[in-house]
Amino acid sequence: MSSFRLRFGGVVVLALRKDYSVAALMAFAAFFTLAGYEFVRSPATVLFKNAYGADNLPLVMAAMPFVVFGGVALYGWILSQLGPRRTLLVTSLGSAIAIVACYLAVLSGSKMITPVLFLLKELYIVLLIEQYWSYINSTLSSDVARKVNGPITGISGLGGFVGGSIGGIIAQPLGTESMLLIGALLLVPAALVSNLTYKLHGEPEMPPRKAGEKAHHMGWQLFRENPTLASLLAIVLSTQVIAAVLDFKFQGLLSTSFAGDTDKETAFQLSFWGNLNLASIVLQFLVAPLLLSFLAVRWIHLMLPLIHLTAITVAIIEPNVLTVGTAFFLFKAFDYSIFRAAKELLYIPLGFDERYRAKEVIDVFGYRTGKGGSSVLIVMAQKAGVMMGNYYLLIAFSATVLWLALIFPLTRDRSAAPAREQGP
């Protein structure tokens, strides 16, 4: 009996060690990816605005649904051909090569490459980050995830803080364009660490396809079968409408404040995102683990839109760089930390296709289509002569109310979620 207990205890310890090892390694892969992203995000935005103006941000974002749909479809096909490990390796190194190509085109003086770069930075970051989470959700138990999801996002966010802080210091002496090359290079260690994680701990088994069964690379049929996935997609779409219009309003105010000083605006934006990531780290390491340990997931999901409704209301009453920046700052900080940690718990009981295919549709296509779809409507209104800048905050408020309403169907059956055996 004692030997049985010893063996049983050893199995538990090994399982826990695997959980924490996967969490730590994937968090460090995300660290490098998000550090690199900070060197791409602000320069890509500033370069586009210099080439085509801040008023055309909604126009380029209107192309996002088509770009992301193609990207997710390609990802799904590669996943079917290569499996999760090699798919992550290919998409990581492929993203680095694409950013370097854009960097070289920018150096040659091409204006036309700036919308390509802008769209690329919107696609590659979510495509890579969601693949890290797909593997994490395939390995961790729900109990362990409640403890470590916050720190995972914290280590990841630390990368964003480091990248933003360093970028804010070196952007002016080195120039905006040079930031792109640094961002691309940081994807190499990210690819090596994530690939090592798969090699150490194995790949989740892809479900076999029956003879004659049609391949569903993107997993659209799963949304008809699982109400949780449909609710998650609707919530992500609404939250990204909020992100888009707050960003448009903030960028417009910044363009006015920093007119004619490209490098100074780049440095300001890098510092803004660096500070935002620092706030996210505090939420990720301290607040998220406590909330996930002591509050039901439903209450956490209900709390977030209520906070944002308050911040957006203040910005509506007195719209300026400070109030709009604060509303945008809070939205992104919570999105990167508590919302992310609580949302990922909903995927853990699900199967491979839900975690690797439907998740990419929700958290890549859904995230970017929420921005892009709202941008299409904004562009149409602008063409009709409507000054949409005057309505961005009202749109954000309305979308937040919709988000709050969608929480109820999302979490209604949370307690009835089926258990799933963990491990690749």
**pLDDT (tens digit, 9 = 90+) per residue, 190-210?**
999 999 999 999 888 766 655
Which of residues 409 and 252 earns the better pLDDT score?
252
Tokens of 111: 């204006």
| pLDDT bucket at 5, cuts 50 / 70 / 90 | very low
- Domains by residue range for the chain, with CATH: 17-202+221-416 (1.20.1250.20)
> Which residue type does 301 have?
H
Burial of 7 (0-12, 13-18, 19+ CB in 10 A): exposed
DSSP letters, 119-187, are HHHHHHHHHHHHHHHHHHHHH--HHHHHHHHHHHHHHHHHHHHHHHHHHHHHHHHH-HHHHHHHHHHTH
Helix, strand or coil, per DSSP, at residue 209: coil
| Non-local CB neighbours of 33 within 8 Å, separated by 6+ positions | 92, 125, 128, 129, 132, 156, 159, 186, 187, 190
Q: What is the pLDDT of residues 109-137, one digit of tens each?
A: 899 999 999 999 989 998 999 999 899 98
For residue 27, the model assigns a pLDDT of 94
Question: Given CA atoms 83, 89, 48, 112 in this order, what sign does their dihedral have?
Answer: negative
Q: For residues 22 and 40, what is the distance between their CA atoms, to the nearest angstrom?
A: 27
pLDDT bucket at 6, cuts 50 / 70 / 90: very low
pLDDT of residue 271: 81
Rounded alpha-carbon distances, angstroms, from residue 271 to 146, 174, 274, 349: 31, 16, 5, 38
User: CA Rg, the chain, in Å?
Assistant: 21
Average pLDDT score, the chain = 83
Is residue 142 within 8 A of residue 5, CB to CB? The reply is: no
pLDDT category of residue 417 using cuts at 50, 70 and 90: very low
pTM: 0.75
| Nearest-angstrom CA–CA distance, 275 and 279 | 6
pLDDT, one tens digit per residue, over 208-237 is: 655 444 555 666 677 777 777 888 888 888
